[in-house]
Amino acid sequence: MIGRKTIVDNITLEDESKKRAFAKVGQRLWAVYGIYSGGSELVTHGSIFQIWIAYSNDKGKHWTGHTQLTSGTGHQRAPCMAVDSQGNLHIVWYGRGVGTYPTQYQIRYIQRTTSGWGEIENLSDVNAPQMLPGIAVDSKDDVHVVWYGRGWGTNTNYNNIQYIKKSSGVWQAQETITDIDKDQYDATLAIDGNDDIHVVWEGQGWGLNSGWDNIQYRKRTSSGWQTQESVTDVVGYFATGQLEPSIAIDADGDVHVAWNGRWNGEVVVRIHYIKRTTTWGSAEHIDPDYGDGSGPEARMPSLSLSLNKHIHIVWNRTGDESGIYYRKKIGDTWGSIEKIYCSDPDLYYSDINVVALNAYYPIIGGVHTNMTNSGIVIMWDANDSTRLDFYSTEIPFLGNPNIDQLIYQHAERMQR
């Protein structure tokens, strides 16, 4: 029975990893993460964040093979990962201490094949910071990366959304998704069954409420980038708009997005969800307040879709109700909010990062190997970011994909 299991402990985790931080290859699960000093024997560079990876061969019960992928004197941060149909791992992050401008953060990449780890490649070399990449692969095993950064296009003094593609082993020219005189942040992407690319992010400068951060969307087909669309266009409250989107694509090509924000002037930060078929539907508010404008802060949602077409969202709450929370939608109906994990003194930190396994590709033997049948598979940093934990409600996606079994709903405490 798989509940909460610890991937790595007694360390200080890098705190910005909130995208695809783990993936499945065959019967092996891989987890990539960044760690700092803090008493761990794994850390070799004192107070510098470095990128590490580990794997599990027993469905997440035990984690081993902890390997340091980066070194040097510059921070390496926010890794995320995708896997292709050949079982190759593709990892991107942002780091400094390299290239023409070593004081600036750049987007970096490494690949693992059956021959082992390749050389680190720098995907940018710009005299301005480049940050928080997202990654996905398509049906041809081409690699797609998005991030935000300054130094591009006309509005070089503002963060804008960037894109690059690796096709047939060769990186193509960088493309600018936005070029606007307002900062854009937190880009992430998903790829559909036609290999169209769907990108969401947060930013100001759009729509009627251009002074507030709202969720934006843009699609790239074989014909190129389509017109940008505003997913939300509302006011926020107290300098907080709509932030930190998460995206997933279903088998019909419909787009699902979750995010957090102070909706239309509300005081409380809540979790929201929306679906796009041919147009955007209405926003649904997933983690509501108590009806009087009060309630816990809800942040950093991670969205996943299972093969039985259920929608899953996990997120964290802060304050007195801090913890990891979960809600599922079956058809048109949202289930009740469940607390997956919270235990004193594990979750006092206000920005616990939780990420769900979810990627449309690869498809191997007709099976979406990085999607679950019905449940969730997640990892998060716990105990004030000194431990990385893994949790699954479902085992069969790691074995026979035709078996569908819910193991249980509430995590057991790790026995160490």
Largest CA distance in the chain: 59
Q: Does any domain span residue 413? A: no
The pLDDT of residue 388 is: 80
pLDDT at position 405 is 25
* Predicted pLDDT of residue 41: 40
**For residue 291, what pLDDT band results from cuts at 50, 70 and 90?**
low
- pLDDT tens profile 236-286: 988 889 999 999 999 999 999 999 999 998 888 999 999 999 999 999 999
Q: In which residue are the tokens 């259920």 written? A: 310
pLDDT range class, residue 347, cuts 50, 70, 90? very low
pLDDT confidence band for 49 (50 / 70 / 90)? confident
Residue 405 lies in a domain: no
Q: Quickly tell me which residue has 């993460």 as its tokens.
A: 33
Identity at 285, one-letter amino acid code: H
152 pLDDT band, cuts 50/70/90, is: very high
In a domain, 94, yes or no: yes
Residue 140 to residue 338: CA distance in whole angstroms: 38
- For the chain, the domain total comes to 1
Percent of the chain clearing pLDDT 70 (strictly above) = 83
- Please give the model's pTM, rounded to 2 decimal places: 0.91
In a domain, 358, yes or no: yes
* 143 within a domain of the structure (yes/no): yes
Query: What is the mean predicted confidence (pLDDT) over 99-107?
Result: 96
Residues 281, 283, 285, 289, CA torsion sign: negative
Q: Is the pLDDT of residue 399 over 60?
A: no
Q: What's the rounded mean pLDDT across residues 141-165?
A: 98
- The predicted pLDDT at position 13 comes to 67
pLDDT digit string, tens, across residues 192-206 = 999 999 999 999 999
Predicted local distance difference test score (pLDDT) of residue 248: 97
Name the more confident of 184 and 351: 184
Q: Identify the CATH number of the domain in which residue 260 sits.
A: 2.120.10.10
When the pLDDT of each residue in the chain is averaged and rounded to a whole number, the result is: 85
- Strands, E, within 160-254: which ranges? 160-167, 170-171, 175-176, 184-191, 197-203, 214-221, 224-225, 229-230, 242-249
Averaged pLDDT for residues 35-44: 49
More confident residue, 56 or 61: 56
Task: Summarize pLDDT for 275-287 with one digit per residue, the tens.
Answer: 999 999 999 999 9
The per-residue DSSP string of 121-177 comes to EES---SS-EEEEEEEE-TT--EEEEEEESS-SS-TTS-EEEEEEEETTEE---EES
> Of 47-51, 297-301, 334-338, 398-402, where does mean pLDDT reach its minimum?
398-402
The candidate with the shortest Cα–Cα distance to 302, out of 375, 356, 360, is 356
Q: Between 397 and 220, where is the model more confident?
A: 220
Q: What is the pLDDT of residue 17?
A: 58
Whether 69 is covered by a domain: the verdict is: yes
Domain with 145, as residue range(s), is: 4-398
Is residue 388 situated within a structural domain?
A: yes
CB 376 within 8 A of CB 314: yes
Residue 43 banded pLDDT, cuts 50, 70, 90? very low
Q: What is the pLDDT of residue 370?
A: 93
pLDDT at position 397 over 70: no
- Has residue 134 been placed in a domain? yes
